[in-house]
Amino acid sequence: MGRLALAAKITHVPSMYLSELPGPHHGCREAAIEGHREIGRRCRALGVDTIVVFDTHWLVNAGYHVNCAPRFAGVYTSNELPHFIKNLAYEYPGNSALGALIAEAACEDGIPARAHDDTSLDLEYGTLVPMRYMNGDGHFRVVSVAGWCNWHRLEDSRRFGASVRRAIEQKYDGTAAIFASGSLSHRFNDNGSPESAIHEISDEFFRQVDMRVLQLWERGDWKTFLRMLPEYAVRCVGEGHMHDTAMLLGALGWDAYDKPVETITPYFASSGTGQINAIFPL
Ligand SMILES: [Fe+2]
């Protein structure tokens, strides 16, 4: 019998990497980076051996997919924002066994899913950015789940998330954490916006809706939030259509979940989008 020790919604904005480098953006994302470090420290204290990331940068057009290669290593450049993340070297151990158990549990629960261990699939930056700050020493094994589900129902992602938890608690012999790696509102700034807009929201409407959502999160009103999630995902241009959030809340019991979040990095705007690091208490 395994244990789910920590759950969180996390940012992965590529300006965190720029923040490390000399230049005009040096230090600009220190709060988000420190938030990741803190979540990493908490995972270590809780004895987490494997981090499962619902990665909104892994696009899939059919099915649910788990990248559970035995080892991840490479030098990554973002094809979407190559001027933000380039030549990022990484190396992490994987967990093929847990990945297979997640797919097995999901299939048993009626959500067809595939685990890929013998694969040349690489990690996307929804996994690579947080792992850089939480897991720079490769302490945690990493499993990445496709969270940009283009033609999927949020209800199925809820059920997939519940299966992830069941796999961890009923099938796995170890301790895991799960992260929904994606933004709140996700409407980028228009092309050609000034460089200073890297710290601005693209439209005040999105910030105001995000603020209301965070009020609901901070008082644990998941019933209300989940009633608005489908429309929130559409109107606020949810990253990966917010399937990462549906998976996370599915793992936590959906509208039976009642705990307020613990904000680790307060809300901030990044390149037009709304971002946060928040732990969802178990
Ligand atoms: Fe993203």
Cα(198) to ligand 1 centroid in Å equals 14
Q: What CA–CA distance (Å, rounded) separates 10 from 8?
A: 6
User: What is the span of the domain harbouring residue 244?
Assistant: 3-279
Name the phi and psi angles at 109, rounded to 5.
-90, 5
Integer distance in angstroms from the first to the last C-alpha of the chain? 17
**Residue 217 pLDDT:** 98
User: Which residue type sits at 10?
Assistant: I
CA atoms in the 13 A half-sphere facing the CB of 4 = 24
Q: How confident is the model at residue 27 (pLDDT cuts 50, 70, 90)?
A: very high
Number of domains in the chain: 1
Residues forming a β-bridge with 59: 148
Q: What is the CATH number of the domain that holds 150?
A: 3.40.830.10
CA 241 vs. chain centroid, Å, equals 13
Average pLDDT for the chain: 97
Cα(117) to ligand 1 centroid in Å equals 24
The residue whose two tokens read 């924002």 is 81
Q: What CA–CA distance (Å, rounded) separates 233 from 187?
A: 11
Residues forming a β-bridge with 54: 145, 180
Cα dist. 52→27, 107, 186, 224 in Å? 28, 18, 22, 27
**Residue 98 pLDDT:** 98
Cα(173) to ligand 1 centroid in Å equals 31
CB-CB contact of 161 with 247 (8 Å): yes
Residue whose C-alpha is closest to residue 140's, from 74, 70, 73, 51: 51
Cα(145) to ligand 1 centroid in Å equals 14
The residue whose two tokens read 């799960």 is 178
Q: How confident is the model at residue 196 (pLDDT cuts 50, 70, 90)?
A: confident
User: Which residue type sits at 210?
Assistant: D
Q: How confident is the model at residue 176 (pLDDT cuts 50, 70, 90)?
A: very high
Residues forming a β-bridge with 178: 7, 52
Cα(115) to ligand 1 centroid in Å equals 23
**Residue 195 pLDDT:** 87
Q: What CA–CA distance (Å, rounded) separates 143 from 179?
A: 11
The residue whose two tokens read 């959030």 is 245
Percent of the chain with pLDDT over 90: 99
Q: What CA–CA distance (Å, rounded) separates 147 from 130?
A: 15
pLDDT digits (tens, 9 = 90+) for 240-264: 999 999 999 999 999 999 999 999 9
Cα(182) to ligand 1 centroid in Å equals 6
**Residue 79 pLDDT:** 96
